[in-house]
Amino acid sequence: MSVCQVQAPTQVPLGLVIGWLAYTVVTLAGVAMIWGLITAIANKPPGKAQLLFAAFLEIVVVVQSLIAAVYLLLGFRPAELATTIGYLIGIVILIPVAWLWANSERTRFSGVVLAVAALAVLGMTLRLLELWIPPLLR
Amino acid sequence: MSEQPLRPTNTGPGRILIAVYGIFALAACARAGVQVATKFAEAPLAYLLSAAAGVIYIVATVTLGRGSRTSWRVALVAILIEAVGVLCVGTASLVDPAAFPKATVWSAYGIGYGFVPLVLPFLGLAWLIKTRPR
């Protein structure tokens, strides 16, 4: 219990930084998902701007995982540590793999592949947020 | 030439299916890894089922991604097991919740993943029928 008491004051600001970043990721991933579906409906492979946007999303996701990793190293403990670490690593892999997969056969379906990966990033970020910030602090 | 199916599983809409299978392979394996490493004693059956689901998703992802005649057959077996698995585990987790104190990807037919685990094997089977080797 003494450990919890020592850490309690630092949890609020740390949670807020992660929350702000996470909502940015959720928004970007949502846009990437809709964009992918739009190009699929339009029967076009993903364009250059769309692929750059996906790369930008990936950068923000990596930043999120790195900042979270620093907090964990500094001693911050989310609701489920092992699950959180799994999510922080797993979430970084999705967009690059989907990016390569979408580009190795460029059709309308490439956009859906990017959309699926973006949806997974979105869902994982919401779950991370849930694990990271206790509901009372939100 | 006769070695190739009429339409390989790894082209067109099949690529979406492979992407979804890949994500579930990652999700199920990561989940199983975390559970087996941290709380295996709490619910060994549930965690082994998570791991089994992860292996099946990996096999389905790889075999659908290869798109050869042999991989089509292996994919069919894997996805049939997946369909039986999600139906059995889904039903068992509702009938006897005590046996599944911790969630697996297939608990309550994959409710934790928007029921995608329930729909996925049937989409997989439909795609395999469409791309069956002749």
In 3-state terms, what secondary structure has residue B10?
coil
Token pair belonging to A90: 């797993």
Q: Which residues of B touch A (CB under 8 A)?
A: 11-13, 15-16, 18-20, 22-23, 26-27, 30-31, 33-34, 37-38
Domain annotation covers residue B69: yes
Domain annotation covers residue B28: yes
Domain annotation covers residue B3: no
Residue A95 contacts B where some CB pair is shorter than 8 Å? no
Token pair belonging to B4: 């190739």
Over residues A57-84, the pLDDT tens digits come to 999 999 999 999 999 998 888 888 888 9
DSSP for A21-84 reads HHHHHHHHHHHHHHHHHHHHHTT----HHHHHHHHHHHHHHHHHHHHHHHHHHTT---S-HHHH
Judge whether residue A6 has pLDDT over 50.
no
Partner-chain residue, chosen from A83, A110, A113, that has the shortest CB–CB distance to B34: A83
Over residues A7-65, the pLDDT tens digits come to 444 454 555 668 889 999 999 999 999 999 999 999 999 999 999 999 999 999 999 99
Domain annotation covers residue B101: yes
Domain annotation covers residue B86: yes
Name the residue among B43, B77, B47 with its Cα closest to residue B59: B77
Domain annotation covers residue B25: yes
Contact B27 A105 (CB under 8 A): no
Domain annotation covers residue B22: yes
Window 48-87 of A: residues touching B by CB (8 A cutoff) are 82-83, 86-87
- pTM, full prediction: 0.89
Residue A93 contacts B where some CB pair is shorter than 8 Å? yes
Domain annotation covers residue B48: yes
Structural domain boundaries enclosing B69: 14-130
Residue B4 pLDDT class (50, 70, 90 cuts): low
Contact B15 A90 (CB under 8 A): no
